[in-house]
Amino acid sequence: MQERTVDTDGARLATRVFDGPTPDAPTLVLHHGLASSQHIWDLMVPSLAKRFRVVTYDARGHGESSKPSTGYDFARITDDARAVMRATRARRPIVVGHSWGAMVALELAARHPRSLRGFVLVDGGITRMRDAFPTWSAARRALAPPKLAGMPLEEFREMIPRFVGDAFEVTPEVEAIILSVMRVRADGTIAPRLSHSNHFKILRAIWDQDPVSLYARVQAPGLAIFATGRDPEWDARRRAAVRELHATGGPVRVTTIEGVHDVPLQHPRALTRRISAFARTAVG
């Protein structure tokens, strides 16, 4: 594994490159979700690297990357992704995104169709936020991140099992992934690596996005995987969005997986298998 920093327009992005089994192995570029980090993929990378060259990175404002006050619209975020692709020599990779990262992958496929070979959307990039929250003020109130800054690290650690419930076991590896989104201060308290102000800038971009209109512009093959079984109303909204997606005639196949939103933590093996199977088809 090689660690490096990629300079973009206004940000420096912490990036990791995992060599594949052969020099010409196809490349996967993995993009994490909002308020997450590149470590969300850590349970999957060892298996994926047996078949592919794998690139992960912390998006601007997240993880170990720099945290400017601007550049959180999808145009800039997709430019960041392309900068990572160029710097790591990921020529026409398959881009995999989770949650907000799925929305970034969809934007890439629509805005820069020649830059990728295919894309996978993991529990994101299907529904419009505006369908659930008709106004930005309603979305801002409902989706404001919890105020965790100043909480003692050990108190936060004790809360992690409550966050995940019975969805999956909190192993030391999972705990480390969750802790990667926090900065530990000298006094032993924590602070989210993504600031509240930057969090809201990304949320606003998500609220403005219309995924269905993007699907009509997509040329590369895509696979959308969304988690079901959490909330019947939410599942119904997803099914309605999928019908709109299919009506565009775009080259995107939709499938489901039963579970919670953090699919890479709950079902790393199943998700690895699905990504690998899709990638083999997309690469040809």
Q: Which of 158, 172, 163, 169 is nearest to 36 (CA)?
A: 163
Confirm if 53 and 27 have CB atoms less than 8 A apart.
yes
**Cα radius of gyration rounded to whole Å, the chain:** 18
Alpha-carbon distance of 259 to 216, in angstroms, equals 29
Per-residue pLDDT, 284: 62
User: In the chain, what are the domains?
Assistant: 2-145+194-283 (3.40.50.1820), 152-193 (no CATH)
DSSP string, 158-190: HHHHHHHTTSS---HHHHHHHHTTEEE-TTSBE
Residue 116: which of 99, 100, 97, 144 has the closest Cα? 97
**pLDDT by residue, tens only, the chain of 284 residues:** 999 999 998 999 999 999 999 989 999 999 999 999 999 999 999 999 999 999 999 999 999 999 999 999 999 999 999 999 999 999 999 999 999 999 999 999 999 999 999 999 999 999 999 999 999 999 999 999 999 999 999 999 999 998 888 889 999 999 999 999 999 999 999 999 999 999 999 999 999 999 989 998 999 999 999 999 878 888 888 888 888 888 888 789 999 999 999 999 999 999 999 999 999 887 76
Please, where are the H alpha helices in the chain?
45-48, 74-87, 100-111, 129-132, 136-142, 153-164, 172-179, 196-208, 211-215, 232-247, 263-266, 268-283
DSSP 3-state of 48 = helix
Query: Using CA atoms, how far apart are residues 241 and 248, in angstroms rounded to an integer?
Result: 11
SS3 67: coil
The DSSP bridge pattern shows strands 11-18 and 53-57 to be antiparallel
Residue 206 is predicted with a pLDDT of: 98
Instruction: Give pLDDT, residue 241.
Output: 85
Give 240's contacts (C-beta < 8 A, 6+ positions apart). Answer: none
pLDDT of residue 237: 83
pLDDT score for 104? 98
Which pLDDT score is estimated for 57? 98
Listed residue (72, 128, 148) closest to 242, CA to CA? 128
CB-facing half-sphere around the CA of 145: CA atoms within 13 A: 20
